[in-house]
Every structure is written in C-alpha cells, then in structure tokens.
Amino acid sequence: MKLWGGRFTKPTNQLVEEYTASISFDQKMWRQDIVGSLAHVAMLGKCGILPMEEVRQIIAGLKKVKDKIERGQAEFLVAHEDVHMNIEKMLIEEIGPVGGKLHTGRSRNDQVALDMHLYLREKLMEIIQLAMYLQEALLEQASQHLDTVMPGYTHLQRAQPVLFGYHLMAYVSMLQRDIERMTETWKRVNVLPLGAGALAGTTFPIDRTFVAEMLQFDGIYQNSMDAVSDRDFIVEFLADASLLMTHLSRLCEELVIWSSQEFSFVELDDAFCTGSSIMPQKKNPDVAELVRGKTGRVYGNLFGLLTVLKGLPLAYNKDMQEDKEGMFDTVATIHGALALLTPMIKTMQVRTERMRQAVTNDFSNATDLADYLVRKNMPFRQAHEVVGRTVLYCIEQQKYLLDLTLEEFQSFSGVIGADVYDALAVETVVNARNVLGGTARNQVEAQIAWYQEKWKETQVWVDKNSQKVMIESLIDVGSPA
C-alpha cells in the first residue's frame, strides 16, 4: 500500500509508477532526508506534539535506517516513489506503526525543499573550495612567471606583449567573481523551508526557529507558499555554475591552443592527456576539451529548469520534480572539472623561450612606436598613420620593427632618434604599462598580492560556514536531551 493510498480504489498503473518515480536519482539525498527528519522529530518532541518516548523510538529507528543504507543493506524501491517515502517505509519496518508519526506536521513539499537546501548548501561549499584551489594553482604559476613574456592577443591576432603571469591573473580575476557570486548565492540557499507544510503551514504548534537552529540555517522562509514553490536558489546556483563553466571553458580553449604544435607555449603533463588509437605520435588535451564540451550541458541544465518554472501556478506542482537531475548533473560536472584542472595547471610546463621567440617575431610593439611618437609631440592619429606605413614597409621587406636601421625609421619620421630601440625592446614595452591593472612586472606582483589577500579572506568565510554543512556532524541533531 502507498502511504497516501487511503483515498484510492485501485493500485497505481505500473507505467505511471515508473514514470513518476524519482527514487532513481533523488536517493542521492538520503543523508539530507534523514538529517532533516531527525531535526523535525526532535522539534515535535520539544513542542509536545509527540511524546518523548515515541521521539526516542523514531530517532533510534532513523539511525538504524542510516546504518543499513551505509552498509548497503537497504533497497530503494520504485514502488515507494522517492527518497522520502522509501526512508519512511524503512523506518516503519524498523520500529512499527510509530514510524508513521514522523510525518506529523510536515508535507513532502516542504520536506523535499529542505533536502535540496541541505544538499546544495553542502555542495556549494565544496565547489567554492575547489574553485579556490584552482585559483591558488593559477596564482602559483603566475608568481613563477613574472619575467616570462608572451604575445597578448585580440581577435586571436598578436596585439601587445604581456607577462604570462599577467595573462593567468585574468583567470584568477574571473574565478574571484565566480567565488563571490557563489558566496552570495549561499545566502539564498541557507534558508529553512521546513514547516511550510504543503503550502499553508500546519495546524500543529511547531517551532521553526528551533529546527533552523538545529540545522544551522541563517534564516527561515516567511511565506509558506513561497517556501515550497521556490527554486530560485537552484536557478541561481545553475546560473553561477554556467558562468564558472564559461570561464573554465575559455581557459581550456587556451590550453588546447597553447599546447598545439603551432603554438607550443605549454606542455601538459602526460597524466592529463590521452593518445590516439591509430596515430602513435599523438598527445591529445582531452581533459581540456571535455571541460569545454561539458559546458553546454551545464547551460542546458539552467535553461531546462527556467523552462520548467516559467508557467507554474503556486504552489507545488509535479513538474518541479524536474529540478533535481540537472542540479545533480551540474554539481558532478563542475566538481570534476575543478578537481582535474587544478593539478593540470600545477603540473603544466611553460615553454618560456618559445613564448619569447613568438613575441620578438611580430609587430606587437607597434603601439609603443606610436606612443613614442606621441611623446615626441606628434598627434596620436598622425602617429598611428606613420606606424601603419612603417609596418607595411617592414612586411614588404620581410623585417620587424627592431630590424630597421635608424635611417629607415627616420624615412618615416624625422623625430625618431636612436632611443627608439630601447623604447621598442620587449622588457621596455611590458614594463612601460605601469598603471593599475597593467602588465608591468610590479603591477602583476601587486595583483598577485591583492588576490592572495582576497583568497585568505574567502578561506576565513569558508572555515566559518563549513561546519554548517557537515551532514555527519548534524546526524545527531535529533538526539533529545
């Protein structure tokens, strides 16, 4: 019999049962479901809704169910639909009809909302920490390459010389925004929905504040209809995740390009590459390519949930069962990407001479020639035209700017002097951009120091809040005094 079957005259059609069941995927939240139930039943005892003897029986039964699941001795059945009903059935099998009193004063609507808040709260903290580890790896590489010059690009055309460490710091900046977005999302995740009932609260004199304190939530939903129908916190996480994957994909695209034979700027460790089944010479950057590819599925999960929610009337609707698989998939996808990219960046070998060779065999110092002319009191637009003609001459003569004689330079402008060679040298060009956010060595050092401080501040936040998500430490919250 279904736990809700009293009103029905015939069993559920098997196809309906299989189609509507969520146990195949929501069993991931069994720990969260038990933790939420322990807090709920402790509250029922504290408020005198259930006698303490029954509360103790239920708590003991839930812990037995937990132990059985951990030992692999529990079976989740489609006939019981979801993780909530499966665990309640297991509880009743353990302690008898008193287990049926666990559901007093709550609905599956607020129960599932609680489980997802607990689950995402935990996973969000893990992802924030993993993003910080990747950020740390990039900071380490940037610190080691404060003298490594490479071409900076726009339109994938060489633009101006930059430090390799400076280039990596752009990704540190992106990750900082990702981390900050997720710490903001945490505020919406760490809110208690339990106690909302099906949509209108409950007739029992429950104490939602007590449950919030037990489960270490920072707030409580003020409106019960909103509590059971809100999935904004998941949408917000999926949006954060999509931006994070955008940044990881851009980094991976550059790793693919840089590790190609045409560029040969970096060498990825063999542990993070694969070979070809037919071409023995191949070393493929498959991890970077897969992270780039998996970005699409994270986008899809975001748009999938937005589409589910856009036409739903209040409060709960069965459509909302579609909120979980995309969330689980996104968590797993991001977790894997961050966990792999961090050691891949740490072990990446940078070919500094190849980068320098690239930056000396191009016209990426052309802007500096224009700036040189401006400092000689030439209007920038005129300087731009002069340098353009100079570059065209170099292309025709198969030369670069620093290959020109002073006489050749002066054929384009008489204000050019012998000091032009120092002005166009690679180190001069890089260090001339000595402004906040620039690529000069001391500016990159300042950026690294600034982000290292931000990293420490974020770690303090993580340490402060991480104890709130430790499910194992919360498993005893239901133990009555």
Sequence spans of domains, the chain: 12-103, 107-195+219-355, 362-430
Residue 268 phi/psi, 5-degree rounding, is: -80, 145
pLDDT value of residue 89: 95
pLDDT value of residue 481: 47
- Give the model's confidence band at 1: pLDDT under 50 very low, under 70 low, under 90 confident, else very high: low
Identify the bridge partners of residue 192 per DSSP, sorted by sequence position. Answer: 220
Cite the active site residues: 155, 276
81 vs 5, higher pLDDT:
81
pLDDT value of residue 276: 85
Cα–Cα distances in angstroms (integers) from residue 222 to residues 44, 208, 249, 332, 359, in the given order: 20, 11, 39, 32, 60
Cα–Cα distances in angstroms (integers) from residue 180 to residues 31, 77, 131, 231, in the given order: 28, 40, 11, 20
Tell me the C-alpha distance between 52 and 18, whole Å.
Answer: 38
Q: 147-177 pLDDT, tens per residue?
A: 999 999 999 999 999 999 999 999 999 999 9
Q: Is pLDDT at 30 greater than 80 in this prediction?
A: yes
- Give the model's confidence band at 18: pLDDT under 50 very low, under 70 low, under 90 confident, else very high: low
Q: 122-150 pLDDT, tens per residue?
A: 999 999 999 999 999 999 999 999 999 99
Share of the chain above pLDDT 90, in %: 89
pLDDT value of residue 380: 95
State which fold the 12-103 domain adopts: Fumarase C; Chain B, domain 1 (1.10.275)
State the amino acid at position 56 in one-letter form: R
Assign domain 107-195+219-355 one CATH number from 3.20.20.140, 1.20.200.10, 3.30.450.30, 1.10.3720.10. Answer: 1.20.200.10
Q: Is pLDDT at 284 greater than 60 in this prediction?
A: yes
Q: Is pLDDT at 245 greater than 60 in this prediction?
A: yes
Q: 68-86 pLDDT, tens per residue?
A: 999 999 999 998 889 999 9
Q: Is pLDDT at 184 greater than 80 in this prediction?
A: yes
pLDDT value of residue 3: 63
As a whole number, mean pLDDT of residues 27-37 equals 96
Tell me the CATH class for 362-430. mainly alpha
Kindly report whether the global pTM for this prediction surpasses the value 0.85.
yes
- Give the model's confidence band at 2: pLDDT under 50 very low, under 70 low, under 90 confident, else very high: low
pLDDT value of residue 468: 87
Token reading at 476: 């005893």
**Residue found by looking up tokens 């501040």 in the block:** 457
Q: Is pLDDT at 5 greater than 70 in this prediction?
A: no
pLDDT value of residue 446: 98
Residue 298 phi/psi, 5-degree rounding, is: -70, -40
SS3 assignment for the chain: CCCCHHHCCCCCCHHHHHHHCCHHHHHHHHHHHHHHHHHHHHHHHHCCCCCHHHHHHHHHHHHHHHHHHHCCCCCCCHHHCCHHHHHHHHHHHHHHHHHHHHHCCCCHHHHHHHHHHHHHHHHHHHHHHHHHHHHHHHHHHHHHCCCCEEEEEECCEEEEEEEHHHHHHHHHHHHHHHHHHHHHHHHHHCEECCCCCCCCCCCCCCCHHHHHHHCCCCEECCCHHHHHHCCHHHHHHHHHHHHHHHHHHHHHHHHHHHCCCCCCCEECCHHHCECCCCCCCCCECHHHHHHHHHHHHHHHHHHHHHHHHCCCCCCCCHHHHHHHHHHHHHHHHHHHHHHHHHHHHHCCEECHHHHHHHHHCCCCCHHHHHHHHHHCCCCHHHHHHHHHHHHHHHHHHCCCHHHCCHHHHHCCCCCCCCCHHHHCCHHHHHHCCCCCCCCCHHHHHHHHHHHHHHHHHHHHHHHHHHHHHCHHHHCCCCCCC
Question: Please, what is the average pLDDT of the chain?
Answer: 94
Q: 332-353 pLDDT, tens per residue?
A: 999 999 999 999 999 999 999 9
pLDDT value of residue 56: 96
